[in-house]
Amino acid sequence: MFSHRTSVTTGWDGKTKGGNDAEDGVYYYIIEATGFDDNVKTVTGFVQLIRG
């Protein structure tokens, strides 16, 4: 799954690009942001999705 956002206030709603609920599981993310000084910062991590 790939998602591209341009706003820092936009989060992930747990849905796929097709609008369906994503499966429970661990998802890897990469955030790449360019600062006002044009320096690029990359942050990576994991998020676990558990639906009740």
DSSP the chain: -------TT----SB-TTSSBPPSEEEEEEEEEE-TTS-EEEEEEEEEE---
Sign of CA dihedral 7, 11, 16, 20: negative
pLDDT at 49: 95
User: Tell me, what's the pLDDT at 28?
Assistant: 93
* Structure tokens given for 26: 């661990």
**Confidence band (pLDDT; 50, 70, 90) for 1?**
low
Tokens of 35: 């600062």
pLDDT at 24 over 80: yes
pLDDT beyond 70 at 8: no
Instruction: Tell whether the model's pLDDT for residue 10 goes beyond 80.
Output: no
Q: Spell out the domain ranges in the chain.
A: 1-52
With cut-offs at 50, 70 and 90, classify the pLDDT of residue 17.
confident
For the chain, first and last CA: distance in Å? 22
